[in-house]
């Protein structure tokens, strides 16, 4: 088992337990069944937090805010049924994954992407976070609506600026690795 620690937070106990079972052979996994329980468990040990967004009383957004306020150095993957909207631009997550996750490999891919991101420089991590937000929005919101939203336009401009400033660093990355990171939003297609 890896020394890598993951905190799974979901108020739906069967989902939290399923995610824990899928990951516990490879990682040290702790589980919280509410936002309040997650906040009480927060210390410097989690490397990754897989966080449901829509929980009663203490939401995933509240937990994320506590993580960032305490300067806990971990990657946060929002794993939620909440459809993303422009409010995701304000959240400090690293990846946004829309449930359902039906296969262990889907969850492993999210975890491995977050693990890789932790190894990159701060600027590359920021580029990947912003690119993930862009991909999340583009997967769920019509292009015409995106074009009208000023914060989205600012996001796109910031991604371009970061890509220009990181051009030397990005040139040194393997193209397949970079493409995977920049497109790995893991946003599931809309259910019909």
How do residues 41-80 score in pLDDT, each as one tens digit? 999 889 999 999 999 999 999 999 999 999 999 999 999 9
Helix H or strand E segment including 106: helix 104-117
Domains of the chain: 5-183 (3.40.50.2300)
> pLDDT tens digits for 76-104?
999 999 988 999 999 999 999 999 999 99
pTM: 0.85
pLDDT band of residue 185 (cuts 50, 70, 90) is very low
Transcribe 68-99 into DSSP letters.
HHTT---EEEEEESSPP-GGGGG---SEEEES
CA distance 148 to 32: 39
Distance from C-alpha of 86 to C-alpha of 80, rounded to nearest angstrom: 16
Per DSSP, 120 falls in state S
CA 80/CA 96 separation, integer angstroms: 8
Per-residue exposure over 176-188, b if at least 16 CB sit within 10 Å of its own CB, e if not: eebeebbebbbbe
């Amino acid at each position: 088992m890896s020394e890598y620690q993951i905190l799974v937070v979901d108020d739906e106990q069967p989902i939290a337990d399923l995610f824990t079972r899928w990951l516990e052979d490879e990682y040290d996994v702790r589980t919280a069944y509410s936002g309040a329980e997650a906040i009480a468990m927060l210390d410097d040990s989690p490397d990754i937090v897989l966080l449901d967004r829509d929980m009663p009383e203490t939401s995933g957004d509240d937990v994320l805010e506590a993580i960032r306020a305490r300067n806990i150095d971990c990657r946060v993957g929002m794993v939620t049924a909440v459809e993303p909207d422009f409010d995701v631009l304000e959240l400090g997550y690293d990846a946004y994954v829309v449930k359902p996750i039906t296969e262990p490999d889907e969850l492993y891919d999210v975890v491995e992407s977050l693990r890789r991101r932790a190894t990159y420089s701060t600027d590359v991590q920021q580029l990947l976070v912003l690119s993930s937000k862009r991909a999340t929005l583009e997967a769920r919101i019509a292009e015409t609506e995106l074009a009208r939203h000023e914060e989205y336009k600012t996001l796109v401009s910031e991604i371009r600026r970061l890509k220009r400033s990181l051009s030397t660093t990005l040139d040194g990355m393997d193209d397949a690795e970079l493409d995977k990171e920049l497109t790995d939003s893991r946003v599931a297609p809309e259910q019909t």
